[in-house]
Chains A and B, each alone.
Chain A
Amino acid sequence: MTIEPSQRVETVPPSGIRRFFELAEEMDDIISLGVGEPDFSAPWAAREAAITSLELGKTSYTANRGRRELRELIAGDVDRRYDLEYDPDEEVLVTTGASEGVDLALRAVIDPGDTVAVVQPSYVSYVPGVIFAGGEPLPVPTTQETDFKLTTDALYDAGVEGADALVLCYPNNPTGATMTGSELEPIAEFAREHDLVVLSDEIYSELSYEHDHTSIATLPGMRERTIVFNGFSKAYAMTGLRLGYALGPPEAIGAMNRIHQYTMLSAPTTAQYAAIEALESCDDAVAEMRRQYDRRRRLVLSRFEEMGIECFPASGAFYAFPESPWDDGEAFAEALLEQEHVAVVPGTAFGEGGEGHLRVSYATGMDDLKEALDRIERFIS
């Protein structure tokens, strides 16, 4: 007998760039601008808190929703930073990375056949997540003409009026686009008018360089229809500790917790102790990392401009999303890898609107970043 994967799993293709990076792993002297995670380590205070928790034998499960102390700190932190007020008992769920939160939310609020609009280019997990939840993904392409910001025109063009939910991610992976409060207002109005549930992934909220981050949940009439995802991976460089959280109305968080308690049970205890310390004492470390990313961002955008590579002014996350110097971004990325040993990700990996672009992560040390940009310049000249 052979085990046949379910149709849902079969529907989701493997990553289109897997072959590309298998090739990269066989090469020497590779500089990767493909990684989507900080090159910093988590702040020492957070790491030490994790170690201490282990030394004290704090290795049991926590409450399904996460330690109350952590939920209280999260609620206080998002209130202070983003003007979001949530009850730590009923409206905060600590998850195993923000990714688990997105997956739980999709499974908790989507019924089979429901349509879920996904703004693209976007993080690679949203569309598979919709499919695994039994929903129908509806891509909403954004383009360089609007600086990859979502507009109501894009929503109408894609036919989102009839959708059940909308997945947003600003600051955006892979484009680095951000949206201000006034730019989000018409999107919120559209969501209210068409009764959409909004799933807002704000994992890069601390990495917004041109203006303060605005959560769509703070706009009038949005709190009751929005689930916000955030976590410790990007701002605190705690990717491997796998800790995120979801914020939303009690009925949504309750439904998500019902799935969470049967699957994950609780987020990693050690990571929860690290997160408590991160929230209590690591603001300076976050500010320092943001400052470093901002310098790299300015360098990357400036170098692309000097090379004559068109790139809109990415203002968030740690990605630039330049136009590929060749029409075929995949062919360009592959040739760049083979000839100059620089790995970037073709924009097609991130869905509609990504074609002809490259995702360039600047979450890499300045020396490597400068060397990679020199190699790109040499390659195109």
Chain B
Amino acid sequence: MDLSEELLELLQENARYSTDDLARMTDADPETVEAEIERLESEGIIRGYQAVVDFEETERERVRAIVELNVTLDRETSYGDIAERIVQFPEVQELRLVSGDYDFDMEVEGDSMREVSHFISDKIAPIPEITQTVTHYHMDTYKTRGIVLGDHDEDDRLSVSP
């Protein structure tokens, strides 16, 4: 595994690793690590750093929904054109073109079900190319971005195992 692959893996594991720690873990010097991360960022390979938040553990209520979107295309409009319009909305967290029964898989976040419902009915459904929306509200989240939520198991391994 080369340095850039290893850095990408480590930063996906924890984007808050310090440059020094990344250097220690990869046997590279900190300047090299710094330069490599800058390259990955400037080439658009690393697009950002975000915390994975378990909102169940906070006072704040967040509502998420997966929305299946079906669209119709014409000679002037491509999937990319429709996507370009939809991703502008800050409520849209994820948008993917998928194979199967529907065309786009969209993830929307808001402060309440009312807000999310209004967003879909007022902003998404009226887009001319969209022919159908099917909304699935998240009831509970058990794992997101590879991290298991709500897992507070005590480590009950022996203090000293041989």
Contacts and interface: CB of A to CB of B under 8 A. Distances in A.
Contacts of A173: 162
Contacts of B155: 32, 39
A343 interface: yes
A303 interface: yes
Contact of B161 (A35, A349, A366): A35
Contact of B21 (A15, A32, A299): A299
Contact of A299 (B1, B25, B161): B25
A25 interface: yes
Interface string B126-162: 0000000000000000000000000000010111111
Interface in A1-46: 15, 17, 21, 24-25, 32, 34-37, 39
Contact of B159 (A34, A124, A295, A367): A34
Contacts of A258: none
Contact of B26 (A124, A298, A345, A366): A298
Contacts of A345: 160
Nearest to A38: B157
A35 B27 contact: no
B123 interface: no
Nearest to A30: B159
Contact of A370 (B13, B21, B157, B158): B21
A299 B24 contact: yes
B10 interface: yes
B159 A32 contact: yes
B14 interface: yes
Contacts of A296: 25
A21 B13 CA distance: 32
Nearest to B14: A366
Interface in A344-364: 345, 349
Q: B14, B24, B158: which has the most chain A beta carbons within 10 Å? A: B24
Contact of B25 (A15, A37, A295): A295
Interface residues of B, number: 17
A37 B1 CA distance: 26
A125 B162 contact: yes
Given A35-B157, A366-B14, A370-B21, A298 B27 contact: yes
A15 B26 CA distance: 37
Contacts of B24: 298-299, 302-303
B162 A295 contact: no
B42 to A, nearest CB: 25
Contact of A36 (B1, B10, B161): B161
A123 interface: yes
A35 B162 contact: no
Contacts of B160: 15, 17, 21, 34-36, 345, 349
Contacts of B161: 35-37, 239
B41 to A, nearest CB: 22
Contacts of B157: 35, 37, 39
B158 A295 contact: no
A95 interface: no
Contacts of A298: 24-27
B25 A25 contact: no
Nearest to B155: A39
Contacts of B21: 299, 370
A343 B157 CA distance: 13
Contact of B162 (A36, A291, A303): A36
Contacts of A295: 10, 25-26
A39 B158 CA distance: 12
Nearest to B25: A295
A99 interface: yes
Contacts of A367: 14
Interface of B: 1, 10, 13-14, 17, 21, 24-27, 155, 157-162
Given A37-B157, A291-B1, 4 more contacts: A21-B159, A24-B159, A36-B162, A299-B25
Interface of A: 15, 17, 21, 24-25, 32, 34-37, 39, 99, 123-125, 173, 239, 291, 295-296, 298-299, 302-303, 343, 345, 349, 366-367, 370
10 contacts: A15-B160, A17-B160, A21-B160, A25-B159, A37-B157, A123-B162, A173-B162, A295-B26, A302-B24, A366-B13
